[in-house]
Amino acid sequence: MFARLPPATLALLLTNVGVFLLQQLIGSPLEDWLALWPPGAAFQPWQLLTYAFLHGGFTHIFVNMFALFMFGAPMERFWGARRFTIFYIVCVISAGLTQLTVSMLTNSGSETIGASGAIFGLLLAFAMYFPRARVMLLFPPIPLPAWLFVLGYGLVELFLGVWGLEPDVAHFAHLGGMLGGAAMILFWRLRDGKPAR
Dihedral sign of CA atoms 102, 84, 60, 56 in order: negative
What pTM does this model have?
0.91
89-100 pLDDT tens trace: 999 999 999 999
10-40 pLDDT tens trace: 999 999 999 999 999 998 889 999 999 998 7
- What are phi and psi for residue 94, nearest 5 degrees? -65, -35
- 32-41, 48-57, 80-89, 179-188: the lowest-pLDDT one: 32-41
Q: What percent of the chain has pLDDT over 90?
A: 70
What is the predicted pLDDT for the residue at 197?
A: 59
Q: How far apart are CA 55 and CA 141, in angstroms?
A: 27
- 78-87, 140-149, 177-186: the lowest-pLDDT one: 140-149
Residue at 13: amino acid letter? L
Q: How far apart are CA 163 and CA 109, in angstroms?
A: 19
H or E element in which residue 145 lies: strand 143-145
How many beta carbons lie within 10 A of that of residue 67, not counting itself? 18
- Give Cβ neighbours of residue 142 (< 8 Å, ≥ 6 apart): 136
Indicate if the pLDDT at residue 140 is higher than 90: no
DSSP bridge pairs for 136: 143
Q: How far is CA 11 from CA 5, 30, 60, 72, 157, in A?
A: 9, 21, 19, 11, 28
Architecture of the domain spanning 2-192: Up-down Bundle (1.20)
What is the predicted pLDDT for the residue at 162?
A: 79
Per-residue pLDDT band for 139 (boundaries 50, 70, 90) equals low
